[in-house]
Amino acid sequence: MERATLPDGEAQNPPCGEVSGLLRAWSDGDRAALDQLTPIVYDELRRLASHYMRRERPGHSLQATALVNEAYMRLVDYKGMQWQNRAHFFAVSAQLMRRILVDHARRHNLKRGGGVQHVSLEDEETAMVGGDRAADLVALDDAMDALARLDPRKVQVVEMRFFGGLSVEEAAEVLKVSPVTVMRDWSTAKAWLYRELAGGTTDGL
Closest to 28 measured CA to CA, from 110, 127, 96, 74: 96
Q: Please answer whether residues 5 and 15 qualify as being in contact, where contact means their C-beta atoms are separated by less than 8 angstroms.
A: no
- With binding defined as CB under 8 A, does residue 143 bind other proteins? no
- With binding defined as CB under 8 A, does residue 24 bind other proteins? no
To the nearest 5 percent, what fractions of the chain are helix, strand and coil?
A: 70, 0, 30
Per CB under 8 A, the list member of 101, 171, 174, 175 interacting with other proteins is: 101
Per CB under 8 A, the list member of 26, 89, 90, 192 interacting with other proteins is: 192
Per CB under 8 A, the list member of 12, 84, 132, 176 interacting with other proteins is: 12
CA distance 12 to 14: 6
Nearer to other proteins by Cβ, of 34 and 168: the residue is 168
CA distance 188 to 156: 13
CA distance 9 to 28: 26
Per CB under 8 A, the list member of 79, 84, 107, 176 interacting with other proteins is: 79
**Span near other proteins by CB under 8 A; candidates 17-25, 26-34, 96-104:** 96-104
Nearer to other proteins by Cβ, of 1 and 150: the residue is 150
Total residues in contact with other proteins, by rule CB under 8 A? 83
Could you tell me the end-to-end alpha-carbon distance of the chain, in angstroms, rounded to an integer? 53
